[in-house]
């Protein structure tokens, strides 16, 4: 298996290096057929090539079996016509990564902020919705007819809604067999109605899986009050983006939040958080999110290619991270611990060695 690795901006290179160290350790421990190739993107690529996502890098991602993407500092990029391409959005569109899967769970011994423990996964549609850079064939989904009037177009299609629903029900079949659709049909009756129509159709084809629905505002409250009642949550792009950040923080920290983006042929691991330029280069970043995202990528590859060793590697990484997080003395500063990025990564690698014996 060949992985294209894009370190990104800010703390991206630091946490990407951490993820690569962990992958190298499980590769050696479990004799994985795994190779990585690092490609420059972001601000560094802009200065060298004139674009934050060179065409050669996009081609390498198309050829790879999987992609690891570090955080990117899109707020500091120039306009797209001056080379400022959002690699995250571009890769989701170009590789048709329609499903963004974001798990959130509490851990024994690690403080969480919700009223109940949680073990849920938010399955977010990734290619349309209100996101102006990915919902039009040509041009932007936002327009400004006059200096004092701005409009935003929201695209919801039956095809995209149906395939994200299938992804959610397939995932629920491997978990606690419960899917909750999140919507705002009471005020967005046409677009949300279309989304719900497709999800309900898929739900009827899975009578063995419990199905219910929640308004997005009540869902935001319930994640605080009673997150333990939810298993798999399926929703549209922007609602999923917001709710998954809320769930991650409630579970302990956004720094723990893993995610993958997948389609029919490609999968990309991506930390759920941003590039945190304020702590760049200070050995302060918590690499857990990208390490666990890389584990999710290994699991996806293992299931797609029927490689049990990759599935085992993903479990070993997850268990090792949990083992390290279980010790307050080994946590990073965002979790109240004393460790920096490098020391935390070394602890995870040592834990892998200990568990593999």
Instruction: Kindly list the catalytic residues.
Output: 131, 184, 217, 241, 245
Instruction: Describe the strand order of the beta sheet including 232-235 as a list of residue ranges.
Output: 35-38, 2-6, 66-69, 267-270, 260-262, 99-105, 119-125, 232-235, 178-183, 210-215
Positive or negative: CA dihedral 323, 328, 332, 336: positive
Nearest to 205 by CA among 156, 159, 176, 168: 168
Residues with Cβ within 8 Å of 262's Cβ and at least 6 positions away in sequence, in order, are 97, 98, 99, 101, 268, 300
Per-residue buried b or exposed e for 279-310, using 16+ beta carbons within 10 Å of the residue's own CB? bbeeebbbbbbbbbbbbbbbbbbbeeeebebb
| Cα dihedral value 111, 295, 321, 32, nearest 10 | 170
Angle at 333 between CA 327 and CA 337, to 5 degrees: 25
Q: How far apart (Å, rounded) are the C-alpha atoms in residues 20 and 29?
A: 14
What does the alpha-carbon distance between residue 259 and residue 243 come to, in Å, rounded to a whole number? 13
Q: What angle do CA 46, 47, 52 make, to 5 degrees?
A: 10
Region of residue 97 (phi > 0: left; psi between -120 and 50: alpha; otherwise: beta): beta
């Amino acid at each position: 298996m060949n992985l294209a690795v894009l370190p990104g901006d800010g703390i991206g290179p630091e946490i990407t290096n951490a993820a690569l160290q962990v992958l190298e350790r499980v590769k050696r421990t479990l004799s994985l057929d795994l190779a990585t190739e690092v490609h420059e993107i972001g601000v560094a690529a802009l200065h060298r090539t004139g674009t934050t996502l060179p065409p050669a890098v996009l081609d390498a991602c198309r050829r790879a079996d999987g992609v690891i993407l570090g955080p990117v500092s899109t707020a500091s990029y120039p306009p797209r016509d001056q080379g400022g391409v959002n690699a995250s959005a571009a890769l989701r569109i170009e590789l048709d990564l329609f499903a963004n899967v974001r798990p959130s769970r509490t851990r024994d011994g690690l403080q969480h902020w919700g009223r109940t423990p949680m073990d849920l996964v938010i399955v977010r549609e990734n290619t349309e919705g209100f996101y102006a850079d990915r919902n039009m064939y040509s041009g932007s989904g936002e327009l400004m007819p006059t200096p004092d009037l701005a409009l935003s177009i929201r695209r919801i299609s039956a095809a995209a809604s149906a395939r994200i629903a299938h992804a959610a029900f397939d995932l629920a079949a491997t978990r606690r067999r419960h899917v909750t659709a999140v919507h705002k049909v009471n005020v967005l009756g046409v677009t949300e109605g279309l989304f719900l129509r497709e999800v309900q159709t898929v739900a009827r084809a899975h009578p063995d899986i419990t199905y219910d629905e929640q308004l997005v505002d009540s869902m935001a409250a319930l994640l605080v009050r009673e997150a333990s009642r939810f298993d798999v949550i399926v929703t549209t792009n922007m609602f999923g983006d917001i709710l998954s950040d809320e769930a991650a923080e409630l579970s302990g920290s956004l720094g723990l939040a893993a995610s993958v983006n997948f389609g029919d042929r490609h999968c990309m691991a991506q930390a759920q958080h941003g590039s945190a330029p304020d702590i760049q280069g200070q050995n302060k970043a918590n690499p857990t999110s990208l390490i666990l995202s890389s584990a999710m990528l290994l699991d996806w590859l293992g299931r797609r290619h029927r490689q049990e060793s990759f599935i085992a590697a993903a479990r070993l990484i997850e268990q090792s991270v949990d083992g390290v997080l279980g010790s307050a003395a080994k946590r990073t500063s965002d979790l109240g611990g004393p460790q920096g990025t490098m020391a935390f990564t070394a602890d995870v690698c040592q834990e892998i060695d200990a568990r593999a014996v």
